[in-house]
Chain A
Amino acid sequence: MQSKPPALKILDISSVLVLAIATYLALIYAPEEAVMGQVQRVFYFHIGTAWTGLLGFLFAAGLGIVYLVKQDIKWDIAGVAAVEISAVFFLITIMLGSIWARPIWNTWWTWDPRLTTAAITELIYIAYFMLREGIEDPDRRARFGAVYTLIGGISAPITFFAIRLFRTIHPVVIGGGDPNAQGTFAMTPHMEVAFFFGLFAFTVIFIDLFWNRIRMGQLAAKVEQLKLNLMH
């Protein structure tokens, strides 16, 4: 296997740096929120991981379309990478949201439209990996993955717009939300810096992980091909 490209090494280091800066901005630089207290700081990573998670699912749907058009396995490898990283990020989003909800909503979980659509989205992509494992033929598996991510991708905009379309208690920090929402707050300029840098940091981390995961997928494809060659 080829050694790591210098650009990827730089991206690895950049990811660690932006994560450290994002953590500093979220925990120290941003002021304490007046009503919710310290737990509001969870919001910066909650939104950052949700942003990359949902965009990653949409990106995977786009890669699925490219695979169906080009029929080249490299697009399937990229699709799997996007889904895997997004699923991890989105799991973190749900867990951070649950931790935030405990002191603010007085419950770990409620079947609110946003929480429900988020949970369904995560389950759709966990099922994606389970179902892929059941298909041995690499071409059939890739075709199935492409169609699945294409259909599954619909869940990402539904989750995003759930708090804008339905009656919900989930706050909408940017743009107007439901008046019944609990935990809404106005961002100060310092909070905005932490918020937007968080979005930037998680985008950089996603790109870095995506590249690394693609390299691993390429290696896995080579190993699989070698196994098939030896069997026949």
Chain B
Amino acid sequence: MFPLEAPPDTSAYMIAGYVIFFVIAAIYLISLLVRWRNLNQDMTTLEAIEKDNKRKAEKPSKEQKN
């Protein structure tokens, strides 16, 4: 008969593994949210510039008619 041995204490590595998993997952999710927010801001700004450009382009043609 072999004596029954308890498995080695490797719990610190297990904790490290799951901490790393959740940290990387959180960093990726935050990066998605930040990029999404920045793109929305860019979209709003660019749409405003486009509208402004259109208005400027329409103004001279109205003045010419007058």
Chain B residue nearest to A39 (CB atoms) is B10
Residue from A39, A213, A219, A227 with most neighbouring chain B CB atoms (10 Å): A39
> Given A33-B7, A35-B7, A37-B7, A223–B13 Cβ distance below 8 Å?
no
- Closest Cβ of chain A to B33, distance in Å, is 10
| A-chain residues with CB within 8 Å of residue B42 when the two chains form the complex | 223
Residue B30 at the A interface, CB < 8 A?
Answer: no
A226–B42 CA distance with the chains assembled, in angstroms: 10
Docked-complex contact A27 and B46, CB < 8 angstroms: no
A62–B50 CA distance with the chains assembled, in angstroms: 37
| Per-position binary interface string of chain A over residues 119-138, scored 1 when its CB falls under 8 Å from any chain B CB and 0 otherwise | 00000000000000000000
Residue A151 at the B interface, CB < 8 A?
Answer: no
Chain B residue nearest to A32 (CB atoms) is B7
A216–B38 CA distance with the chains assembled, in angstroms: 11
Size of A's binding interface in residues, CB under 8 A: 38
- Closest Cβ of chain A to B13, distance in Å, is 4
| B-chain residues with CB within 8 Å of residue A220 when the two chains form the complex | 35, 39
Chain A residue nearest to B9 (CB atoms) is A37
Docked-complex contact A37 and B11, CB < 8 angstroms: yes
Residue B21 at the A interface, CB < 8 A?
Answer: yes
Residue A57 at the B interface, CB < 8 A?
Answer: no
Docked-complex contact A45 and B17, CB < 8 angstroms: yes
| Per-position binary interface string of chain A over residues 93-117, scored 1 when its CB falls under 8 Å from any chain B CB and 0 otherwise | 0011001101100000000000000
| B-chain residues with CB within 8 Å of residue A100 when the two chains form the complex | 13, 17
> Given A91-B24, A92-B24, A216-B35, A42–B14 Cβ distance below 8 Å?
yes
> Given A39-B10, A88-B28, A230–B50 Cβ distance below 8 Å?
yes
A170–B7 CA distance with the chains assembled, in angstroms: 20
Interface CB pairs A-B, < 8 A, 24: A1-B40, A34-B7, A36-B10, A37-B9, A37-B10, A38-B9, A39-B14, A39-B17, A40-B14, A45-B17, A45-B21, A88-B24, A92-B24, A92-B25, A95-B24, A99-B16, A99-B17, A102-B13, A213-B32, A216-B35, A223-B42, A223-B46, A226-B50, A230-B49
Closest 6 CB pairs of A and B: A39-B10, A37-B7, A42-B17, A38-B11, A37-B10, A38-B14
